[in-house]
C-alpha cells in the first residue's frame, strides 16, 4: 500500500546526525526519501542503482553516500533498510488500512440508513394513501372533498420492483434525486404509468435484458430509466429475434394459411346465407 508521507522528528534527527557534514546530511535525507518510496521500504544492495537514483555526481558525493549507508542502514537478505524508517512505514500502513476500513464501514452505514429511509418513506406514503382512501369511502362524491394527487414515482418504482422479481433484475433500494429525475423524464416520454407498464412488459419479454446473453448481463433500474437505454428498448433494439429456422417455419405457416383460406373462399357455398361474398 502506497503511503505518500512519513513523520519527521527534527529533534531526534538532529541528535543522531549532528556530526554529519552538509554533504552527508543531504545524502542521508535523499536516502530516507528514496527508501520510503521504494516497495518494502528498502533498497536493493546495489551501489550503482542507488547512485543513479540519488543522482550522485563526483567521488565526494559517492563517499558521502557510502558513509551514511554504513552508519545508518543495514543489509538484510540482499536489501538495505533503516530500522527507524521501517517502523514508521509499518505504523503508517497500519493507520492507512484502519482509515480505509473505517471509511468502508461508514459508507455501508450511510447506505443502510438511506435504504431504511426509503423503505420507511414508502411505508408512510402507502399508509397515508390508505387512510385517504378510507376517508373518501366514508364521504359522498358531493361533499366537495379534494382528491389527493397520485404519486406516480412511487407507483412506478413499485411496478419496476415487481417486474424485477420475476425478470431477475436488481431491485431499487435507494431512490435518490438523480434516479427520481430520470424516472420522471421517462414517464413523460412514455405518457405516464400506463406507458411505463408497457415498457416494463416489453423489457421482461426480452431474453437479452433478462440475462440471456454471453455476459449474463441484465437490465437495471438505472439502465431502463436512462434516455439511451429506454429509447433503444422502445425502438425494439432488444426485442426477441427469431432464429432463421423459426423464420422459415413462420413463413411456411403463413403460406399454408393463405392456401387454406383461398380454398375456403373458392368453395361453393351450400346455402345462400352462408359463405364468403
- Domain coordinates in residue numbering, the chain: 1-121, 152-234
Q: Which 8-state DSSP code applies to residue 243?
A: P
Return per-residue pLDDT of the chain as tens, 277 residues: 557 788 888 999 999 999 999 999 999 999 999 999 999 999 999 999 999 999 999 999 999 999 999 999 999 999 999 999 999 998 888 888 888 888 888 888 887 777 777 777 777 777 777 666 655 544 444 455 555 567 899 999 999 999 999 999 999 999 999 999 999 999 999 999 999 999 999 999 999 999 999 999 999 999 999 999 999 999 999 998 765 565 565 555 556 556 556 654 655 454 444 344 4
Domain 1-121 has CATH 1.10.10: yes
Confidence at residue 169, expressed as pLDDT on a 0 to 100 scale: 94
- For the entire predicted model, the pTM comes to 0.38
Residue 134, pLDDT score? 58
Helix spans in the chain (H): 10-17, 22-37, 47-54, 59-72, 83-137, 152-167, 177-190, 193-204, 221-225, 227-234, 244-266
- For residues 85 and 66, what is the distance between their CA atoms, to the nearest angstrom? 18
What pLDDT, on the 0 to 100 scale, is given for residue 151? Answer: 87
Which cell numbers in the block locate residue 269? 357455398
Residue 80 CA from chain centroid, whole number: 43
Q: 79 forms bridges with which residues in the sheet?
A: 44, 76
**Phi, then psi, of 79 in degrees rounded to 5:** -125, 160
Q: Please tell me the predicted confidence (pLDDT) of residue 273.
A: 44
Contact in structure between 217 and 211 (CB atoms under 8 Å): yes
From CA 223, how far away is CA 130, in angstroms rounded?
Answer: 32
The pLDDT of residue 257 is 56
pLDDT of residue 265: 60
Amino acid at each position: 500500500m502506497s503511503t505518500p508521507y512519513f513523520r519527521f522528528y527534527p529533534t531526534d534527527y538532529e541528535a543522531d546526525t549532528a556530526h554529519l557534514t552538509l554533504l552527508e546530511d543531504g545524502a542521508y535525507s535523499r536516502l530516507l526519501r528514496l527508501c520510503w518510496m521504494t516497495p518494502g521500504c528498502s533498497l536493493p544492495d546495489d551501489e550503482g542503482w542507488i547512485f543513479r537514483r540519488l543522482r550522485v555526481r563526483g567521488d565526494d558525493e559517492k563517499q558521502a553516500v557510502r558513509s551514511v549507508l554504513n552508519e545508518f542502514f543495514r543489509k538484510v537478505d540482499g536489501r538495505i533498510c533503516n530500522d527507524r524508517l521501517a517502523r514508521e512505514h509499518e505504523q503508517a500502513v497500519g493507520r492507512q488500512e484502519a482509515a480505509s476500513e473505517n471509511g468502508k464501514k461508514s459508507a455501508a452505514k450511510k447506505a443502510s440508513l438511506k435504504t431504511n429511509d426509503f423503505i420507511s418513506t414508502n411505508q408512510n406514503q402507502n399508509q397515508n394513501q390508505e387512510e385517504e382512501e378510507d376517508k373518501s369511502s366514508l364521504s359522498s362524491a358531493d361533499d366537495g372533498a379534494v382528491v389527493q394527487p397520485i404519486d406516480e414515482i412511487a407507483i412506478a418504482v413499485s411496478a419496476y420492483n415487481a417486474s424485477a422479481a420475476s425478470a431477475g433484475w436488481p431491485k431499487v433500494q435507494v431512490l435518490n434525486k438523480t434516479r427520481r429525475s430520470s424516472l420522471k423524464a421517462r414517464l413523460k416520454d412514455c405518457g405516464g404509468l400506463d406507458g411505463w407498464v408497457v415498457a416494463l412488459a416489453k423489457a421482461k419479454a426480452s431474453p437479452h435484458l433478462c440475462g440471456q446473453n454471453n455476459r449474463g448481463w441484465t437490465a437495471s433500474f438505472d439502465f431502463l430509466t436512462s434516455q439511451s437505454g429506454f429509447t433503444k428498448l422502445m425502438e425494439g433494439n432488444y426485442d426477441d429475434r427469431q432464429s432463421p429456422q423459426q423464420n422459415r417455419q413462420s413463413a411456411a405457416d403463413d403460406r399454408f394459411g393463405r392456401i387454406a383460406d383461398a380454398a375456403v373462399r373458392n368453395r361453393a357455398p351450400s346455402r345462400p346465407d352462408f359463405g364468403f361474398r
